Chains A and B, each alone.
Chain A
Amino acid sequence: DVKVTQSSRYLVKRTGEKVFLECVQDMDHENMFWYRQDPGLGLRLIYFSYDVKMKEKGDIPEGYSVSREKKERFSLILESASTNQTSMYLCASGSMNTEAFFGQGTRLTVV
């Protein structure tokens, strides 16, 4: 069965902290994605990766970075968390131009 696993379901962090969100997939997919979802705004793409060590900016990369050292793992890093980064974060993986499978989401609150 398809599995995309995000490391935490809920996180509370303080302003200015460095935050790591981890995502692991077990389907040998080339592509991995990080989105954030806010009410009324849908899923906005932060970063994506189509190969190990490759990364591309999405539509809202400011304040974020990513790391993909292994094919199955894609990490999202908030260098210095701010309150406007409070959101639901969704990781997804997929093969070229095929459907993407989502993790369960991480609800991050920055206080």
Chain B
Amino acid sequence: QKEVEQNSGPLSVPEGAIASLNCTYSDRGSQSFFWYRQYSGKSPELIMFIYSNGDKEDGRFTAQLNKASQYVSLLIRDSQPSDSATYLCAVTGDYKLSFGAGTTVTVRA
């Protein structure tokens, strides 16, 4: 079993809709959880982090963490064409930072 699994996608949503991205992780000792965005040909950049159970909102982005279910999600509200990218879920524990394979999102104008 991979340490970090994401819904495979690709995900296509119309402009203005909500994009929902999911991620599960295998290590119950994981401590911090991140969502990175990666545009084609660029390096990943952090968009959200979450450490505690519950929701965390930042602008149009909401991260949700459920440690009991070992599940973390990202919602993108009012999706814009500029949100078209690959979204990577990342998890830390014992100094190690592990990533999922990523979900490619395309926002249709």
Contacts and interface: CB of A to CB of B under 8 A. Distances in A.
A33 B97 contact: yes
B93 to A, nearest CB: 8
B43 A102 contact: yes
A66 B92 CA distance: 21
Interface size class of A (residues with CB under 8 A): 20 to 34
Nearest to B89: A42
Contact of B99 (A35, A50, A101): A35
Contacts of B45: 102
A90 B32 contact: no
A14 to B, nearest CB: 26
Interface of B: 3, 6, 31-32, 34, 43-46, 49, 88, 90, 92, 95-102
Given A48-B97, A97-B92, A99-B49, 9 more contacts: A42-B88, A42-B100, A43-B88, A43-B99, A45-B97, A48-B96, A94-B97, A100-B90, A103-B43
